[in-house]
Amino acid sequence: MHKVIAVVSGGMDSVTMAHQLHSDGHDLFLLSVNYGQRHLKEHRFAAATAQRLGVRHEVADLSPVARFLKGSSLTDPDVDVPERSWSSFGESPNIVPNRNALLLSVAFAVAVAERAEAVAIGTVANDHASVPDSTPEFLESFIAMERIATAGHASPELDLLAPLSQVGKTGVVEIGERLGVPWLETWSCFRGGDLHCARCAACTERREAFAATGVTDSTRYEEPVA
C-alpha cells in the first residue's frame, strides 16, 4: 500500500481510477486543479468521490493561468465547444496543450510535501491519439524528470501511476461497474451547464461507452438521446 496523490477532476475516468486505487488499498489524497476550465463544476464530483471513499480532497487554484491558455474551448471564452471529436495531435480545440504536465507538476509538489510515494492520473487509451501529454512516452519521461527534480526530497521510489492508460472508455465503464462507481456522481460535459449537453465530444464519448457495454446510461442530458 502506498500514499498516492491522485489527480481527480470528477470525470468518469479519474473517478473510476480513484475507486480502483482505493479498492487496491492505497492511502489516497485526491487533488483537483482549477486551471480556469469552463466545466469547473466537475470538481463537485471529485469532492463527492472523496467523501464517498472517506479520503482527503483539496483544490489547487491556478485559475489566473487561464488567461494565458488561449485557443482552447476549455479555457478560452472566445472559442466555442465543438460538437465533434478529433484524432490527431494539434487538431482539437478541446485540448489544453501541456495541461497534464501542469497538473502533474502540482501533484508532484504536493507528493513531496505530503511524503507520498506516488502520483496517479486517469489518462485512458482513447487520449493517446489526440493528447500528446497522455501518451506512455510522455508519462515515462515525466516520472524520469520528477525523480531528478525531487531527488533528496521525495521517496527514491517515487512513481507515476496511470492504471487506466491501456483501457478505452468502454473499459472504464466495465471497471467502474465492477467497483460500484455511481455514474450520476461523475461529470463529463465540456460545456459545464446544469445538465450534460449530450452533443460535445466528451458527452458523445460517454454515451457511446455506455451503449457499447450495455450498461444503463443514467446521465441526465439536456435533450432526449436517441
Please report, as a single letter, which amino acid is at residue 3: K
pLDDT surpassing 90 at residue 85: no
Per-residue pLDDT band for 71 (boundaries 50, 70, 90) equals: confident
Task: Pick the closest to residue 181 from 224, 122, 129, 135 (CA basis).
Answer: 122
pLDDT surpassing 80 at residue 218: yes
Instruction: Spell out the domains of the chain, with CATH numbers in brackets.
Output: 3-213 (3.40.50.620)
How many whole angstroms separate alpha carbon 176 and alpha carbon 171?
A: 8
Specify whether the backbone of 48 is left (phi greater than 0), alpha (psi in -120 to 50) or beta: alpha
Per-residue pLDDT band for 78 (boundaries 50, 70, 90) equals: confident
Report helix, strand or coil for 117: coil
The answer to whether 150 and 119 have CB atoms below 8 angstroms apart is: no
Please report, as a single letter, which amino acid is at residue 81: V
Task: Pick the closest to residue 31 from 52, 50, 53 (CA basis).
Answer: 50
What does R_g of the chain's alpha carbons equal in angstroms? 17
Task: Pick the closest to residue 137 from 128, 148, 146 (CA basis).
Answer: 128
pLDDT on residue 129: 80
pLDDT surpassing 80 at residue 180: yes
How many whole angstroms separate alpha carbon 73 and alpha carbon 165?
A: 24
Give the residue carrying C-alpha cell 476549455: 74
Per-residue pLDDT band for 91 (boundaries 50, 70, 90) equals: low
Average pLDDT over the chain, rounded to whole? 92
pLDDT one-digit tens code per residue, 100-112: 999 999 999 999 9
pLDDT on residue 226: 54
Give the residue carrying C-alpha cell 485526491: 30
Full DSSP string of 50-102: HHHHT-EEEEEE-GGGGGG-TT-TTT-TTSPPPSS---STTT-TT--TTHHHH
pLDDT on residue 87: 57
pLDDT surpassing 80 at residue 27: yes
Contacts of 85 (CB under 8 A, 6+ apart): 92, 130, 201, 204, 205
More reliable by pLDDT, 5 or 38: 5
